[in-house]
C-alpha cells in the first residue's frame, strides 16, 4: 500500500474544496496540500449551479436584511451566529472571485449585476448569466493551478477516515486508474464532498452526489445534523430532473396550472402582480412552492406529461432577446431535453430533489467535533440553511466556509504533529481488507436492486409530505437494506477503473445517509420548512426549536438526539410571504 | 417485443485484454434517452463492468466526451432518437490513450492548460476593500464566448494536428489562454505568449477548423487560435522592427 504524507488533506475539489485549498496555500505556502477528488475538479457538481450567489452589494440592501431573509427562510432553524458571520463575509468572498477573474454579469455602468432570487427581499444574487456555478468552479480550478503547494489527486475515491486517539489523522482512498489503495497521512483533513441528492430517484444532482463524505464522517463517530431537511426545487424538467434555474422566475417567469391560472395565489403567496414582486408568488421560497405543487396535484389541476404530472413555467413574455441574454442555458436545456423552445411555449416543470440542508455537524469555524476534521460546503451543516435553504446562499456558503475550513485546518496543522505511522498503517490495512473481501466473497445481493429499493422508499416515504406511517415503513425498509448490503455482490473484479466498485461503495454511503434522513424525520413530529408532516402540520417551537443529531450506532439504526438552535436576535416568528411580506 | 437499438461499445480492460475489441449490447429504444442513458442501462442491467465517465447529464461537466458513430460527442447530449434504426458505435475519444473501455487519460490536457497561466494575471494584488473591478458589458462580451469551455476535449479528438503531433497545446487550452488575454482585467498576455507563440502553440494549427465544428458550447477555439496568431505576429514584428525593439 502507498502512503502519502501531507500537511492538509482535502477530500473534494468542488467549490468548497478548491476554495479551502487556495486559502491554505495563501495562508501558508509551506504547507503541503493533497487535494483529493473522485472526479476531475471541473466535473464537480458545483458546475451545474445556474442561478447565482448571494451577497449584499446594493446601497438599499443590508446585512440585516440578508440575515432576516435567511433566518426566516430557514424557518428559524438556522444558527444565527453562523448566519451573521455568513452574510458579512459573503460580499467579500464574491469580490475575491471577481478579482480572480470570475466573469460575473455586469450592469451598463460596469458594476457587477445582481438579480432577484426566491425568498430574498432585494436583489442581491451575483450571477454569471445562468452558468454561475460553472464559472465559479472553473475560475477556482484555474486559479488553484497557480499554487505549487497544491498537489491534486484526481480520480481518487476516498473510502474512510483515519482516526487515532480521537483525532483525525488522514484518510484512505483508491486510485481509480490502478485500483491501488493509498493512505494519506495528514495533520488536518477537510471534507468537501458535496450533497447526497442521489438517495432519491428524481433529482437535479449529478451521479456523483452520493453523500460519501457524510458517511465517512458518520462512521468515524461524527454526527450528521438536520438530515431530515431535504430541499425540493419547484422547477425540474420531468423525466431527467434537469434544473430550470430559479433565475428564470427572478427574471419574471410565471408558474401556471392546467387552466393557465397562477395557482400560487391560492397558497398565501399572492397577490398575483403581473411584475415580479420579491418574496411573493413565483419568488416565494422553494419549500412553499414545492408544497403548492403537491396540493395542485391532489386537486387534479396539474398537467399530465409522459413523465408524470407537471405545471407550466412561462417565460415567453420576456421575449427572445432577453431570454438569450439572461437565460441562454434555460433555453438550451428546454429545447434539448423536452423539445420545447421557451420563446414560444411554456416549459413543463415539477418539484425535484435538489439540496441537502443537513450534513456533517460543524461549528461556525467549519470544525467538526472530531479534532483535526473540518467540513465545508453542501456536505456540512453549520447551519446557515436551517429547515430550508434560500436559493443562491449555498454558492456563497461554499466560499465563506470553504475559506474558514482552510484557515481552521492551517491553525490545527501548525499546532499538531502527524499521527503515528503504525496507526495509519493498521487502519489502512483494515480498510484494504474490507475492499478485498468484496473482491473475494461471492455476495448474493445485487447493488442496482438495492439502490432501486432505496430510491423508491425514499420517494414514497420521505418525500415532500411525510407521515408517521410512511416514515416507519421507509425506516424498516432501509434497516433491511443495510443488512442486505453486507451481502452485496461485486460483479467487476478488475483493478483498473472499477466503476462497479465505486458504485457499490457509493451505495453503502447512500444507505447510511438515507437512514439518518428517514430516522430524523420520524423523530421530528412537527412541520418546519422543507420537513412537512401531514400528521403534525404545525411548527412546534416548544419541542423542536432544535437541530437533530444523528449518530452512528452499533444497532441497525442511528441514534437521534438533539441540540438547541443558536438564537441571537431573531425570535421565531411567522414566515410571511406574498403581499403581507413587503 | 418492443423496439430496441444496438449499441456497439469498444471494450478494453488492460488487466485482461491484449487489445481493444467491440461488444454489442441490445437496449430498449427510448425516445427521450441520450446515449449516456443507454450506457447506464447496459451497466445496470447487462454488464456492470462497463467503464465510462459521466455525471451531470446536462452537458456542463464535460465528463462524457466519446466518439459516437465516429463523431466526437457528449454522450449526455446525443439523443438515441437521432440514431433510430441505426447501429450506434461508441468508442473512447480519439487521440487519447485508453485507460479502460470508454475512459481515456486526460492528464496531458491539464498539464498543457497549466502551462498557459490559465488565471487572471495582474500587476498588483487589488485589495478587497477596493471592491470589484469595473468591466463594461462590451468588455465582458469580448472574452465571454471563450469562457464557455467545459474541457470536454471533443476538439482534441477532432483535431488533425493533435493526431500527428503530441506536443501541440491544442484548441481548448489555447481558447482558455485567449479568454484571459482578452479579459480587460488581465495583463498576462506576455507571459502566456511564451507558450502560445511557441512552435507547439498556435503555429502548429493549420486552421482546419474541425475543433469549432464539434464544440458543443460554441467556444470557437479556431477563432481564438487565429486571433492569437495575429497578436503573436504583432509581438514578433514589434520585437524586431519597431523602434525600441530588441534588434
Ligand atoms: C443543478 C443545480 C443548480 C444549483 N444552483 C445553485 C445556485 O444557483 N445557487 C446556489 O447558491 N446553489 C446552487 N446549487 C447548490 C450548489 O451548487 C451546491 O450546493 C454546491 O455547489 C456544492 O458545492 P460543494 O463544493 O460542497 O460540492 P460539489 O461541487 O458537489 O463537490 C464535491 C466534491 O467532492 C468530491 N467527492 C465526493 N465524494 C468523494 C469521495 N468519496 N472521494 C473523493 N472525492 C469525493 C467530488 O469529486 C467533488 O469534487 C445548485 C445545485 C444543483 C444540483
Ligand atoms: S473548446 Fe469546446 S470542444 Fe474543446 S474542450 Fe472546450 S467545450 Fe469542449
Ligand atoms: S455528463 Fe456532464 S457533460 Fe455529459
DSSP of A398-420: HHHHHHHHHHHHHHHHHH-----
Residue B122 lies in a domain: yes
Domain count of the fold of chain B: 2
Exposed (0-12), middle (13-18) or buried (19+): which is A541, by Cβ within 10 Å? middle
Are residue B92 and residue B169 in the same domain, yes or no?
no
Query: Which chain A residues in 86-105 lie under 8 Å from chain B, judged by CB atoms?
Result: 92, 95-96, 98-101, 103-105
Are residue B62 and residue B120 in the same domain, yes or no?
no
Cβ of B62 less than 6 Å from ligand 3: yes
> pLDDT value at position A582?
42
Exposed (0-12), middle (13-18) or buried (19+): which is A35, by Cβ within 10 Å? buried
Complex ipTM? 0.95
Residue B35 lies in a domain: yes
Spatial CA neighbour of A139 closest among A377, A391, A398: A398
For residue A430, is pLDDT > 70? Answer: yes
The model's pLDDT over A492-517, given as tens digits with 9 standing for 90+, comes to 999 999 999 999 999 999 999 999 99
Query: Which chain B residues in 14-73 lie under 8 Å from chain A, judged by CB atoms?
Result: 14-16, 32, 43-45, 48-63
Q: Which ligand sits closest to the CA of A231?
A: 1
- Residue percentage of chain A with pLDDT more than 70: 99
Q: Which ligand sits closest to the CA of B56?
A: 3
Residue B246 lies in a domain: no
Q: Which ligand sits closest to the CA of B171?
A: 2
Is residue A191 a contact partner of residue A74, using CB atoms and an 8 Å limit?
no
Contact A500 B49 (CB under 8 A): yes
Mean pLDDT of A510-528: 98
Contact B103 A497 (CB under 8 A): yes
Is residue A445 a contact partner of residue A485, using CB atoms and an 8 Å limit?
yes
For residue A180, is pLDDT > 80? Answer: yes
CA A473 to chain centre: 26
Residue numbers in A near B51 (CB within 8 A)? 496-499
Which one of B15, B56, B140 has the shortest CB-CB distance to A47?
B56
> pLDDT value at position B243?
62
Are residue B147 and residue B79 in the same domain, yes or no?
no
> pLDDT value at position A237?
94
Which one of B49, B62, B99 has the shortest CB-CB distance to A43?
B62
Residue numbers in A near B120 (CB within 8 A)? 99-101, 143
Which DSSP helix (H) or strand (E) runs through B176? helix B171-181
- Residue percentage of chain A with pLDDT more than 90: 89
Spatial CA neighbour of B56 closest among B155, B152, B200, B193: B152
Annotated binding site of A for substrate: 233, 245, 354, 389
Contact A98 B132 (CB under 8 A): yes
Which DSSP helix (H) or strand (E) runs through A481? helix A468-485
> How confident is the prediction for chain A on average, in pLDDT?
95
CA A109 to chain centre: 34
Read off the C-alpha cell for A252. 419574471
Contact A48 B56 (CB under 8 A): yes
> pLDDT value at position A555?
84
Specify the residue for cell string 401556471. A256
Distance CA A423, CA B122 (A): 46
Interface residue A109 vs chain B (CB under 8 A): yes
**The domain boundary residue, chosen from B104, B125, B156:** B104
Are residue B61 and residue B14 in the same domain, yes or no?
yes
First-residue to last-residue Cα distance in chain A: 62
Distance CA A90, CA A107 (A): 20
**CATH classification of the domain holding B167:** 1.10.1060.10
Distance CA A327, CA A324 (A): 6
Distance CA A520, CA A524 (A): 6
**pLDDT band, residue A581 (cuts 50/70/90):** very low
Are residue B92 and residue B112 in the same domain, yes or no?
no
Beta bridge partners of A162: A170
Mean pLDDT of A534-552: 97
Distance CA B94, CA A433 (A): 38
The distance between the two most distant Cα atoms of chain A, rounded to a whole number of Å, is 69
Are residue B121 and residue B213 in the same domain, yes or no?
yes
pTM, entire model: 0.96
Q: Which residue of A has its CA nearest to B107?
A: A154
**The domain boundary residue, chosen from B104, B134, B153:** B104
- Which domains are seen in chain A, by residue range? 235-352 (3.90.700.10), 431-553 (1.20.58.100)
Question: B152: CA distance to ligand 3 center in Å?
Answer: 8
The model's pLDDT over A441-485, given as tens digits with 9 standing for 90+, comes to 889 999 999 999 999 999 999 999 999 999 999 999 999 999 999
Are residue B134 and residue B64 in the same domain, yes or no?
no
Is residue A267 a contact partner of residue A288, using CB atoms and an 8 Å limit?
yes
Residue B90 lies in a domain: yes
Are residue B100 and residue B111 in the same domain, yes or no?
no
Spatial CA neighbour of A212 closest among A198, A231, A202, A229: A198
Query: Which chain B residues in 77-136 lie under 8 Å from chain A, judged by CB atoms?
Result: 77, 99-101, 103, 105-107, 110, 113-114, 118-120, 122, 125-126, 128, 131-136
Exposed (0-12), middle (13-18) or buried (19+): which is A247, by Cβ within 10 Å? buried
Residue B199 lies in a domain: yes
Are residue B60 and residue B164 in the same domain, yes or no?
no
Interface A–B counts its CB contacts (< 8 A) at: 158
**CATH classification of the domain holding B16:** 3.10.20.30
Interface residue A325 vs chain B (CB under 8 A): no
Residue numbers in A near B183 (CB within 8 A)? 101, 103
Residue B247 lies in a domain: no
- Point out the ligand 2 atom lying closest to the alpha carbon of residue B156: 4
- Point out the ligand 1 atom lying closest to the alpha carbon of residue A194: 27
Domain that holds residue B231: 107-241
Residue numbers in A near B16 (CB within 8 A)? 494
Q: Which residue of A has its CA nearest to B103?
A: A497
**The domain boundary residue, chosen from B81, B104, B127:** B104
Cβ of B59 less than 6 Å from ligand 3: yes
Which residues of A does the annotation mark as catalytic? 286
Question: B173: CA distance to ligand 2 center in Å?
Answer: 9
Are residue B168 and residue B117 in the same domain, yes or no?
yes
pLDDT tens by residue, chain B, 247 residues: 589 999 999 999 999 999 999 999 999 999 889 999 999 999 999 999 999 999 999 999 999 999 999 999 999 999 999 999 999 999 999 999 999 999 999 999 999 999 999 999 999 989 999 999 999 999 999 999 999 999 999 999 999 999 999 999 999 999 999 999 999 999 999 999 999 998 888 888 988 899 999 999 999 999 999 999 888 888 877 777 666 544 4
The model's pLDDT over A233-257, given as tens digits with 9 standing for 90+, comes to 999 999 889 999 888 998 899 999 9
Q: Which candidate in B61, B74, B183 is best for mutational testing of the A interface (most A CBs within 10 A)? A: B61
Cβ of A247 less than 6 Å from ligand 1: no
Distance CA A19, CA B16 (A): 40
Are residue B159 and residue B230 in the same domain, yes or no?
yes
* Collapsed DSSP state (helix, strand, coil) of residue A163: strand
Are residue B206 and residue B121 in the same domain, yes or no?
yes
Cβ of A236 less than 6 Å from ligand 1: no
Side-chain-side CA neighbours of residue A495 (13 Å): 10
Q: Are strands A53-54 and A156-164 parallel, antiparallel or unpaired?
A: unpaired
Query: Which chain A residues in 462-491 lie under 8 Å from chain B, judged by CB atoms?
Result: 491
Q: Which ligand sits closest to the CA of B156?
A: 2
DSSP of A36-94: EESS-GGGSGGGG--S-EE---STT--HHHHHHHHHHHTTT-S-HHHHHHHHHHHHHHH
Residue B120 lies in a domain: yes
CA distance A440 to chain B (A): 16
Q: Which candidate in A207, A403, A507 is best for mutational testing of the B interface (most B CBs within 10 A)? A: A207
Amino acid at each position: 500500500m502507498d502512503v502519502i504524507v501531507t500537511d492538509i488533506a482535502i477530500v473534494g475539489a468542488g467549490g468548497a474544496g478548491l476554495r479551502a485549498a487556495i486559502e491554505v496555500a495563501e495562508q501558508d505556502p509551506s504547507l503541503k496540500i493533497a487535494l483529493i477528488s473522485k472526479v476531475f475538479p471541473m466535473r464537480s457538481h458545483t458546475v451545474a449551479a445556474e442561478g447565482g450567489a448571494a451577497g449584499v452589494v446594493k446601497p438599499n440592501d443590508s446585512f440585516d436584511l440578508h440575515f432576516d431573509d435567511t433566518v426566516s427562510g430557514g424557518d428559524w432553524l438556522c444558527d444565527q451566529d453562523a448566519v451573521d458571520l455568513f452574510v458579512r463575509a459573503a460580499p467579500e468572498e464574491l469580490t475575491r472571485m471577481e478579482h480572480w477573474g470570475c466573469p460575473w454579469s455586469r450592469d451598463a455602468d460596469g458594476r457587477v449585476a445582481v438579480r432577484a432570487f426566491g425568498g430574498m427581499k432585494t436583489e442581491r444574487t451575483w450571477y454569471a448569466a445562468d452558468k454561475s456555478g460553472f464559472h465559479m468552479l472553473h475560475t477556482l480550478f484555474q486559479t488553484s493551478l497557480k499554487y505549487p503547494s497544491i498537489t491534486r489527486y484526481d480520480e481518487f475515491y476516498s473510502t474512510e477516515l483515519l482516526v487515532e486517539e480521537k483525532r483525525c489523522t488522514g484518510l484512505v482512498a483508491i486510485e481509480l486508474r490502478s485500483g491501488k489503495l493509498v493512505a494519506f497521512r495528514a495533520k488536518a483533513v477537510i471534507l468537501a464532498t458535496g450533497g447526497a441528492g442521489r438517495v432519491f430517484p428524481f433529482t437535479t444532482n449529478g451521479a456523483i452526489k452520493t453523500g460519501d463524505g457524510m458517511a465517512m464522517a458518520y462512521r468515524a463517530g461524527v454526527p450528521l445534523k438536520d438530515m431530515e431537511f431535504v430541499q425540493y426545487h419547484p422547477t425540474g424538467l420531468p423525466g431527467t430532473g434537469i434544473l430550470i434555474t430559479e433565475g428564470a422566475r427572478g427574471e419574471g417567469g410565471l408558474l401556471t396550472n392546467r387552466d393557465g391560472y397562477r395557482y400560487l395565489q391560492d397558497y398565501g403567496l399572492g397577490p398575483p402582480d403581473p411584475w415580479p414582486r420579491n418574496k411573493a408568488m413565483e419568488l416565494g421560497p422553494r419549500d412553499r412552492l414545492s408544497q403548492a405543487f403537491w396540493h395542485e396535484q391532489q386537486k387534479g389541476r396539474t398537467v399530465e406529461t409522459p413523465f408524470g404530472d407537471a405545471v407550466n413555467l412561462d417565460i415567453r413574455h420576456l421575449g427572445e432577446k432577453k431570454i438569450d441574454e439572461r437565460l441562454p442555458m434555460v433555453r438550451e436545456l428546454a429545447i434539448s431535453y423536452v423539445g420545447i423552445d421557451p420563446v414560444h411555449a411554456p416549459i413543463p416543470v415539477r418539484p425535484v430533489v435538489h439540496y441537502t440542508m443537513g450534513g456533517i455537524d460543524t461549528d461556525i469555524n467549519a470544525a467538526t467535533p472530531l479534532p483535526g476534521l473540518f467540513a465545508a460546503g453542501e456536505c456540512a451543516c453549520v447551519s446557515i440553511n436551517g429547515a430550508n435553504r434560500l436559493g443562491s446562499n449555498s454558492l456563497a456558503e461554499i466560499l465563506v466556509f470553504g475559506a474558514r475550513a482552510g484557515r481552521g485546518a492551517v491553525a490545527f496543522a501548525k499546532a499538531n504533529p502527524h499521527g503515528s505511522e503504525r496507526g495509519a498503517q493498521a487502519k489502512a490495512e483494515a480498510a484494504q481488507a474490507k475492499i478485498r473481501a468484496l473482491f473475494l466473497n461471492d455476495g448474493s445481493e445485487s447493488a442496482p436492486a438495492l439502490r432501486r429499493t432505496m430510491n423508491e422508499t425514499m420517494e414514497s416515504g420521505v418525500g415532500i409530505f411525510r407521515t408517521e406511517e410512511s416514515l416507519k415503513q421507509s425506516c424498516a425498509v432501509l434497516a433491511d437494506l443495510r443488512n442486505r448490503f453486507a451481502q452485496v455482490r461485486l460483479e467487476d473484479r478488475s483493478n483498473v477503473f472499477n466503476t462497479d466498485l465505486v458504485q457499490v461503495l457509493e451505495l453503502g454511503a447512500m444507505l447510511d445517509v438515507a437512514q439518518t434522513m428517514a430516522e430524523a424525520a420520524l423523530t421530528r413530529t412537527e412541520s418546519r420548512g422543507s420537513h412537512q408532516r401531514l400528521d403534525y402540520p404545525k411548527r412546534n417551537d416548544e419541542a423542536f426549536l432544535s437541530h437533530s443529531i444523528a449518530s452512528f450506532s452499533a444497532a441497525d439504526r442511528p441514534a437521534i438526539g438533539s441540540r438547541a438552535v443558536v438564537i441571537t436576535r431573531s425570535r421565531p416568528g411567522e414566515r410571511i410571504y406574498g403581499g403581507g411580506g413587503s | 417485443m418492443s423496439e430496441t437499438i444496438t449499441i456497439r461499445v469498444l471494450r478494453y480492460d488492460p488487466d485482461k485484454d491484449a487489445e481493444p475489441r467491440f461488444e454489442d449490447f441490445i437496449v430498449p429504444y427510448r425516445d427521450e434517452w441520450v446515449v449516456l442513458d443507454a450506457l447506464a442501462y447496459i451497466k445496470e442491467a447487462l454488464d456492470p463492468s462497463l467503464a465510462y465517465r459521466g455525471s451531470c447529464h446536462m452537458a456542463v461537466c464535460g465528463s462524457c466526451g466519446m466518439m459516437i458513430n465516429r463523431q466526437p460527442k457528449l454522450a449526455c447530449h446525443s439523443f438515441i432518437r437521432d440514431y433510430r434504426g441505426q447501429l450506434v458505435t461508441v468508442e473512447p475519444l480519439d487521440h487519447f490513450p485508453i485507460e479502460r473501455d470508454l475512459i481515456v487519460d486526460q492528464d496531458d490536457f491539464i498539464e498543457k492548460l497549466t502551462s498557459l497561466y490559465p488565471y487572471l494575471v495582474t500587476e498588483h494584488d487589488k485589495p478587497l476593500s477596493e471592491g470589484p473591478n469595473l468591466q463594461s458589458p462590451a468588455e465582458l462580451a469580448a472574452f465571454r464566448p471563450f469562457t464557455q469551455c467545459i474541457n470536454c476535449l471533443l476538439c482534441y479528438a477532432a483535431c488533425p494536428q493533435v493526431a500527428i503531433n503530441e506536443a501541440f497545446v491544442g484548441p481548448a487550452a489555447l481558447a482558455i489562454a485567449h479568454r484571459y488575454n482578452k479579459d480587460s482585467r488581465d495583463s498576462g498576455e506576455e507571459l502566456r505568449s511564451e507558450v502560445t507563440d511557441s512552435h507547439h502553440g498556435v503555429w502548429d494549427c493549420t486552421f482546419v477548423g474541425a475543433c469549432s465544428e464539434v464544440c458543443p458550447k460554441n467556444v470557437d477555439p479556431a477563432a481564438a487560435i487565429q486571433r492569437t496568431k495575429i497578436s503573436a505576429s504583432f509581438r514578433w514584428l514589434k520585437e524586431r522592427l519597431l523602434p525600441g525593439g530588441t534588434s
